[in-house]
Amino acid sequence: MKGFVRAALAAVRPVDVLPSPNIWHWPEVYEVENRAQDVDGAIWSALREEFDWAGRDVVDVGCGDGFHLPVLARDARSVIGVEPHPPLVRRARARVAEVPNAEAVAGPAQRLPLRDATADLVHARTAYFFGPGCEPGLREAERVLRPGGALAIVDLDGLAEPYGPWLCADEPRYNPVDVERFFADQGFSLRRVRALWRFERREDLEAVLRIEFSEAVAAKAIARTPGLSFEVGYRLHVRRKPAGIVLP
Ligand SMILES: C[S@@+](CC[C@H](N)C(=O)[O-])C[C@H]1O[C@@H](n2cnc3c(N)ncnc32)[C@H](O)[C@@H]1O
């Protein structure tokens, strides 16, 4: 079982830090994957329409090796990446060493090392942990958000062809309908986004599929994906923290 599905399942168990084999074991291949993902910026556009972070304070939970920190820092007032896996914290720190308004700190989503009401946007992208059972992390995000702020969770869409069925093929216990119901019950909106993944070399595309899926599913995915690009469906879930006093 590879990263995404394993994490989605682990979220129903009381696990603290969820193993993410793709980025933990193959950070260089994952870097290639991050560069290939969403080459047209469809996810960023959708996110900006939901909550514009220009001039605001942003937290990126489960930031991995910080790939998205410099992107967020371009417009944000400040960006803090939070990541529980120490080798990735080190990589994220190195990545933002020259970015004055960005930093990376160690910690899990369930215990953010941040003060109350200090962020306007809490962003989590394919950050393992955010699925059914992640209520402690949702409470933490709510705690660090200022009134009027937003929690935005970007994740893979298990219902979207072709990538979603590959995920489900690797782990039939992963039920994308249940995952969506969980976020709806928690008061999140849902927006589906299709992003284009485009690679420069065929061997990169194949290497990425191999770190994401079991051998059998990767072989099938590679055979069914000619060329250098394919579309991947994402879910963007957003929940705003009320700005004023909420009357009973
Ligand atoms: C697939 S990676 C995505 C990293 C990054 N968001 C990106 O898009 O490049 C999943 C990340 O979730 C992190 N993670 C696992 N358990 C976590 C937890 N309890 N709290 C926060 N992040 C967690 C992993 O360490 C890993 O860095």
**pLDDT tens sequence across 61-115:** 999 999 999 999 999 999 999 999 999 999 999 999 999 999 999 999 999 999 9
Question: Based on the structure, what is the number of domains in the chain?
Answer: 1
Output the domain CATH number for residue 46: 3.40.50.150
Distance (Å) from CA 106 to ligand 1 centroid: 11
Report which ligand 1 atom has the smallest distance to the Cα of 4.
1
Domain assignment present for residue 51? The answer is: yes
Distance (Å) from CA 148 to ligand 1 centroid: 25
Per-residue pLDDT reduced to its tens digit, 154-213: 999 999 999 999 999 998 888 999 999 999 999 999 999 999 999 999 999 999 999 999
Domain assignment present for residue 133? The answer is: yes
Domain assignment present for residue 23? The answer is: no
Report which ligand 1 atom has the smallest distance to the Cα of 88.
27
Domain assignment present for residue 202? The answer is: no
Distance (Å) from CA 247 to ligand 1 centroid: 36
Q: Domain range for residue 130?
A: 2-14+42-193+231-240
The pLDDT-based confidence of 129 (bands split at 50, 70, 90) is confident
Ligand 1 contact via 38 beta carbon (within 6 Å)? no
Distance (Å) from CA 197 to ligand 1 centroid: 20
Ligand 1 contact via 109 beta carbon (within 6 Å)? yes
The 3 state secondary structure assigned to the chain is: CCHHHHHHHHCCCCCCCCCCHHHHHCHHHHHHHHHHCCCCCHHHHHHHHHCCCCCCEEEEECCCCCCCHHHHHCCCCEEEEEECCHHHHHHHHHHCCCCCCEEEEECCHHHCCCCCCCEEEEEEECCCCCCCCCHHHHHHHHHHEEEEEEEEEEEECCCCCCHHHHHHHHCCCCCHHHHHHHHHHCCCEEEEEEEEEECCCHHHHHHHHHHHCCHHHHHHHHHCCCCCEEEEEEEEEEEECCCCCCCC
Per-residue pLDDT reduced to its tens digit, 203-229: 999 999 999 999 999 999 999 999 999
Domain assignment present for residue 31? The answer is: no
Domain assignment present for residue 34? The answer is: no
Distance (Å) from CA 128 to ligand 1 centroid: 5
Distance (Å) from CA 33 to ligand 1 centroid: 15
Ligand 1 contact via 104 beta carbon (within 6 Å)? no
Ligand 1 contact via 4 beta carbon (within 6 Å)? no
Domain assignment present for residue 219? The answer is: no
Domain assignment present for residue 20? The answer is: no
Nearest CA to ligand 1 atom 11: 127
